[in-house]
């Protein structure tokens, strides 16, 4: 009976086994050390654009970690507050009820008085006329807010008939019945007609301080 003889492994086999063990050991080490030690990765280990927004946890970067010097916002649809906003402030000449220019306009002054009976202005009718010096003359004017102001002391003409007619733009939206001096009243119609009513013919009437909002 022949005895089985064991041959010694060849050098090539030994080298192959050693290489296999080294490879397996390196893989195990890599698996064990998948989580890098603290402070093992620095600026040199990071490539440009290596850290993206998806790799940063929400709330991980706080305001104290951000250098705001030179930080700009390209666009913003809403802003709850602003210390200054020069681009939002209006500029140029003011208009409408305002005079001057932005950012510091003023309320536009009242226009000049339109004197009843003067050239190019409404005429007195039905025997009415200015009372004369030192009393104010019959006139009207509109301010920047659309309020019509009347003034004047007039001599009595025909009561219940037109004193004069206000032009378009100076008429009320509704017929008005307003008191005037000398305990009389005045009708101011949407047609612009201004009448004085009273019991005594030959008396005078005063319109100083009377005002109303123009219609339209």
114-213 CATH, one of 2.60.40, 3.10.450, 2.40.160, 1.10.287:
2.60.40
For 38, the token pair is 């603290």
The predicted-structure confidence for 39-85, as pLDDT tens digits, reads as follows 667 777 667 777 777 777 777 777 667 776 666 666 655 555 555 55
**Residue 9, pLDDT score:** 66
Query: With bands split at pLDDT 50, 70 and 90, how would you rate the model's confidence at 177?
Result: very high
85-124 confidence digits (pLDDT tens):
555 667 777 666 676 787 777 787 889 999 999 999 999 9
pLDDT average, residue stretch 183-210: 84
What pLDDT is stored for residue 89 in this prediction?
A: 65
Percent of the chain surpassing pLDDT 90: 34
Q: For residue 9, give both structure tokens.
A: 């492994």
Smallest CA-to-CA distance from 196 within 215, 177, 170 is with 177
- Confidence (pTM): 0.55
Q: How far apart are CA 99 and CA 144, in angstroms?
A: 9
The rounded radius of gyration (Å) of the Cα atoms in the chain is: 48
Give the CB-side neighbour count of residue 92, counting CA atoms within 13 A: 4
């Amino acid at each position: 009976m022949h005895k089985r003889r064991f041959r010694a492994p060849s050098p090539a086999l030994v080298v192959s086994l050693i290489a296999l063990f080294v490879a397996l050991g390196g893989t195990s080490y890599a698996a064990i050390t998948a989580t890098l030690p603290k402070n093992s990765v620095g600026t040199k280990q990071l490539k440009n654009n290596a850290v993206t927004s998806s790799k940063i946890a929400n709330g991980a970067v706080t305001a104290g970690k951000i250098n705001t010097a030179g930080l700009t916002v390209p666009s913003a649809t809403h802003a709850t507050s602003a210390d200054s906003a020069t681009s939002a402030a209006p500029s140029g000449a003011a208009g409408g009820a305002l005079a001057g220019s932005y950012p510091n306009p003023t309320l536009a002054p009242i226009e000049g008085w339109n004197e009843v009976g003067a050239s190019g202005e409404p005429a007195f009718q039905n025997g009415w006329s200015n009372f004369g010096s030192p009393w104010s003359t019959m006139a009207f004017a509109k301010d920047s807010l659309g309020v019509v102001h009347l003034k004047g002391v007039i001599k009595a003409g025909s009561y219940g008939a037109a004193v004069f007619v206000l032009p378009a733009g100076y008429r009320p939206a509704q017929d008005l019945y307003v008191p005037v001096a000398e305990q009389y009243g005045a009708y101011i119609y949407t047609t612009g007609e201004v009448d004085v009513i009273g019991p005594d013919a030959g008396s005078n009437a005063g319109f100083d301080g009377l005002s109303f909002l123009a219609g339209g």
